[in-house]
Amino acid sequence: MEKSSYANLSASSIANNGPISILSYCASSILMTVTNKYVLSGYSFNLNFFLLAVQSIVCIACIGSLKAFGVITYRQFNSDEAKKWSPIAFLLAAMIYTGSKALQFLSIPVYTIFKNLTIILIAYGEVIWFGGKVTSMALGSFLLMVFSSLIAYYGDSQDPSAVDNYEVYLGYIWMLTNCFASASFVLIMRKRIKLTNFKDFDTMYYNNLLSIPILLISSFIFEDWSAINVEKNFPADNRTATVMAMIFSGLSSVGISYCSAWCVRVTSSTTYSMVGALNKLPIALSGLIFFDAAINFWSVSSIFVGFIAGLVYTVAKQRQAKENSQQLPTSK
């Protein structure tokens, strides 16, 4: 009995542990980014909505199987809750789709750096919605992040291997759209989690389940399902590898889906987003190793400036937490 109680206490402490949730989100984010880049770039894949629908279907199948075997649990489907959660599903679909489109035209290092501009939007969104506070040091880390992005943009525009400038600019447009979609998704999801008291698997279940019809309908309406394009996306010589890559990307989406909900719940929305800054070096290295991303002074400088921005933000949050603890009123 004591062992069982200790195990439950240990599992509960891990489930509410901020640093562990952040590390888990880092690992799953790196895996998901590299996997998506492999699928989207490796075989000229352009059925983005369909890929995202497959990821959500695989995710639902995985957690459904785990629930059937008693490994995990989550609340049953409720139409009223689904109706209230549906705007979040739309924003999730928009966030992931615009992100996948940006990845199609931008290198992994540049994509990752610009993704972190979302932090500024989320930080000030938290001030408005949750009564948060942006300290001068936190603001300094945001400005460093903007500077990092400007360096990345300059380096990318100077890259002689960028054959089609139109595609690069198109990538930046998708990236800007993704920043606003991501900020809206994270902030509204956090607000809804607080109102509904959703657990991590509840959030994961509703996010993916409600996204499937949105993504499939969008795929059939906006994407080219002609025989020629299907053959282009699933060529005979690489068909098995492409399908396996899609399934693997679905499995990796299980990790990012759970860890995102976990990290938002136990930390703040801004911290969840700022974690992306600490992903910068390993994700950039994966881009250099696996996808031949351009290496120049500007791209390397932008990565390290962004990494410093992440460290400055971490120090700022620690100081803010210390100040808050010292200002707590004492009972007489």
pLDDT value at position 111? 75
Burial class (CB in 10 A: 0-12, 13-18, 19+), 250: buried
pLDDT value at position 150? 76
Token pair, residue 221, equals 């309406």
pTM for this predicted structure? 0.65
pLDDT value at position 118? 78
Burial class (CB in 10 A: 0-12, 13-18, 19+), 8: exposed
Residues of the chain predicted below pLDDT 50 = 3, 5-7, 9, 162-163, 328, 330-332
Helix pair angle (136-157, 108-115), 10° resolution:
150
Number of Cβ within 10 Å of residue 150's Cβ equals 14
pLDDT value at position 10? 56
pLDDT value at position 18? 63
Burial class (CB in 10 A: 0-12, 13-18, 19+), 130: middle
